[in-house]
Structure 1
Amino acid sequence: MMSLKIEIETRQGGLYIVKLEGKLDTQTYKSCEDRLNALLGKAKVLMFDLAKLDYISSMGLRTILRIRKAMQTAGGNVMMSNVQPQIAKVFEIANALPDVPIFSSTKEADDYFDAMQRKVLEKRQPIL
């Protein structure tokens, strides 16, 4: 049986980094979906780190799309980082995530989040 390892890291501000390792397919999508559904209502941003995801099937793609839709409905967001070329090709062919930010690394995503938070804080500063 093909396996999928799921590691979820909690960050400040409702950011959850979801690291997927192995294969997201018809054998593994249900456990992934269950873990991700548990984050709905808590997460403001789900960042998928796909550095170690080797394979995704149509069911795996469907799982990510369903979670993305649920997150958007709840006012949240989904982002991707470290997407392997073969996985990026599946997303591209399916035109599945045209408006999802994709970062080359988790560090690039962290830098983006830091910059966005600084902008919000700067707007809150009283003008003297």
Structure 2
Amino acid sequence: MTLSLHSEFSAPDRAVVHVGGRLDAMTFGELDEAMLALLPQLPDGGTVVIDLTGLTYISSAGLRSFAKVRKTMRAHGGHTLLLNPQPQVRKVFDIVKAVPVNEVFTSTQELDAYLDRMQRQITEGDDEA
């Protein structure tokens, strides 16, 4: 599955970006390019809402893309909100929040393999991961 993106301005100071499919090393560039075009259209203090309802998988490359968006928005006094993550994607965010990832994994490949396993366990019904 590939990445799907759709954005809309729900208010003059708020953009909603719908992200679907897989956000990984093969597709993160699409999100980065879309955000590079979108974010300058928001005024200082604006908000970008990233709707993750359709996102079925995220790797460390996708996490970096979201971190870039947050950094850009903060630099302009704005906010980034993540909405409706699927359980397996939420698990990745929980892992990253709870564990200083750069201190645990020896490489991006090792991190991605771990995140892949965790998401697969949840989508296959074993959420005790």
1:40 is matched by which residue type in structure 2? L
Q: Which runs of 5+ in 2 are unaligned?
A: 99-129
Deviations 1:1-26 (A, max 9, x none): x4100000111132111001100000
Whole-Å separation in 2 of the counterparts to 1:37 and 1:75 = 17
Q: Looking at CA atoms only, which structure, 1 or 2, has the larger radius of gyration? A: 1
Instruction: Name the count of aligned residue pairs.
Output: 95
Which residue of structure 1 aligns with residue 75 of structure 2?
Answer: 73
How far did residue 67 of structure 1 move?
0.8
Which residue of structure 1 aligns with residue 39 of structure 2?
Answer: 40
Tell me the C-alpha RMSD between the 2 structures. Answer: 1.3
Deviations 1:40-70 (A, max 9, x none): 2222111011111000000000000111111
Identity %: 37
Q: Which runs of 5+ in 1 are unaligned?
A: 97-128
Which residue of structure 2 aligns with residue 58 of structure 1?
Answer: 60
Checking the alignment, whether the CA contact within 8 Å between 1:16 and 1:45 is kept in structure 2 is yes
How far did residue 77 of structure 1 move?
0.5
How far did residue 81 of structure 1 move?
1.1
* TM-score w.r.t. length of structure 1: 0.70
1:77 is matched by which residue type in structure 2? H
Checking the alignment, whether the CA contact within 8 Å between 1:41 and 1:74 is kept in structure 2 is no
Q: Does 1:13 align with 2:12?
A: yes
